[in-house]
Structure 1
Amino acid sequence: MPIEDIVKTYHTPFYLFDQETLQKRIDYLHQHLTNGELVYAIKANGFLTPYVKVARYEICSYGEFCIAQKSGIPYDHMVISGVNKDEEFLEAIATKNVLRVTIESLHQYDAVIALAKKYQTHYHLLLRLTSGNQFGMSEEDIKDILLRHDQEVTIEGLEYFSGTQKRSLKKIKKEIDYLKNFIEELAYPFTEIEYGPGLPVHYFHEEFDEDSYLDELNSMLSFDLPLYLESGRSIVASCGQYVTSVKDFKTNKEGHFAIIDGGIHQLVYYGGMMGMKNPVYEHLPHREGKEELWTICGSLCTTNDLVVRAMPLRSLEVGDLIVFKNTGAYSITEGIALFLSRDLPAVLLQRKDEIKKLRDHTYTWSLNMEEK
């Protein structure tokens, strides 16, 4: 369905996700990554949870747990993760018999043991190994847990997430070798491994042979244990578009400036690099004319609301559409949504010629004032 036709019913800005594109992406990853099962991190895009069909779903908060429940995700497909598993979160999974949990610290391990004793529940744990940041535990802490292993839990394996947007297969190979060596050193009867290699997404115009990249990565993933690959961003990024309208434009001594009805509070690419690089986009309607470089700015009253610094456009007019591609992951959730009390955009799902509204445009002003 043409974007112009959708805009006639749903005013901009809005997010548009395509279910067919999503399924093709999942099939593509399954085709190339045969040595591991896919894990979807719900934080990448909660709206798409019911439409992502993979082996497991990583849940990092009580709110995400509620999303997974409402989306019909079976409890035995959930991995309860996150650095802060607060009391409400732990109580919720205990009463719902969700058994697979990651452990981020010695304190978290003790909390889960206490919960298991309280509810007479047996948990299956993944011990998270740190890659050198606030996530996971040191090698020493993991060894400590294995030495004082409590009967209320079964330790299934390790979880290791090492970052995001990694193009360097050499770096990934080094990580895999490290993980294999540590597993061998522990000599513990693990039954699985979860690894997050940080698969890259093409946010900007650049050359990248993803087929070769994934095939070579797959050859490295030769663990002796069942392997689960956390790759949330890579699964859903390509199925999303963020559709905005040009509301005003001007020219001064610094150049051409266009104001759109969206902005950085709703459009987040990896690393906030929109202003430094040109993302994949489409300008509608297509026109002939001289190509000019435009600085695209959002509707927020801050000089930080710079979306693209030098976007090539032809014969720009007020009312034109700028469609930002590859916004299926994080863009919808990472923005500073309450700044200036702008409305939250509608969220739409396209299924062939059908448009399903997942969320209407939502007012936010009441969240920025005292409740009466």
Structure 2
Amino acid sequence: MANQTQSLTLPPPRSYTRTDFTALRAFVQRLPAATIARLYYDPDLAPHAATSEAMERYLRTMRDDLVQLALLHGSTVLAQHLKASIRQHGSAKLTAVTLRMVEQASTLAAAVPAAAHPVHLWFRPLVARRLAGEGIATLGALVDWCNARGGSWWRSVPRIGALRARTLVAWLRRHEAALGMRVAADVDAGDDAGSDASARVSPDAIGGQGGTGDLVVIGGSPLAPRLAPFERLAVPAALSGGDGGEGARGTGQRGTNRATAFAFIRAPHDLAAIHAYLHRYRDRPATCRAYTRELERLVLWAVIVRGTAVSSLTVEDCEAYKDFLAAPAPAFVGPKQSRVSGRWRPFAPGGLSPDSQAYAVRVLRAAFAWLTEVRYLAGNPWSAVHDPVTVTREVPV
């Protein structure tokens, strides 16, 4: 009877991660299986690394899979070498050189990263545990975490330093197509990624009391502002309210509300005057932080949105800022970030409550009253502005 053709059903090909390939190289170099499991795998997440026997069995299976793929897709010389080794030893005996050739011929066995893959499949156990401890369980969650926090994303993850963070981001960028997700441009550019290089302090800018290398000239448009916290911001000279440049709105060299009499503080411009006011609360850090927050918001709004110096604000400007507190522009709003991050924003999502808006107005009214008292300003425009309406709820006893 003639032989009949039989159909053979092959199991689906296995897939292996970068960690698996690294472990196999160590196995070929005769590193003990127990040591490989300890160095490259987390036994709780990788069952094949629970025991040395399971680890060795897994690596032998992987080696055989790669050899079979190399026999199918590799060169004739490599196939003949592997077949001879199998005939002699029962299985292919690989060296570091032949393993490299086998890996190149068996690239179909390499797994492709996916957004839903757990981080432990692609990163060392220590790194994976640190990420999982912050709730970053998958590669997609890691991309979202980085995009939400920018260049300082790694600061909130214990023992993930700047160098390791750059390595992880570079790996994510190489696999963007497979992940189906984009890593934001400023994620691996450092903490100052959100600051334009052209925003650095120039001779035409007036800075605060920090070193000029740390200052950023605020500006831009309300839709795309260039922002910086109070201790790092510098103001264009034309909007500084100072004595050395063209004044706000082209009305002169000084702010239009600057007093002409002898001032009791040595403040050549608005930022210096605000620093002098905040210095009064140096022994009350919580109060100083709260007042700094309100004053830095006003400075950013006055320069970027209103296009005027703080010492040139009028009652109409103050009323407009009171409306801005009720509905800040989206570009001024963002999640909590480090104050050295380029993604720092002066307002948190959700806006300010009516009580917080009223508190801001009272803080600014008091600050301008002091600046008027020390004769830096000629008058206090906030004295003519009413507090925002707040809702008082009466609870029956």
> Greater strand percent: which structure?
1
TM-score by length of 1: 0.26
User: RCO greater where, 1 or 2, for CA within 8 Å and sep 6 or more?
Assistant: 1
Per the normalisation by structure 2, the TM-score is 0.24
Who wins on radius of gyration, i.e. which is larger? 2
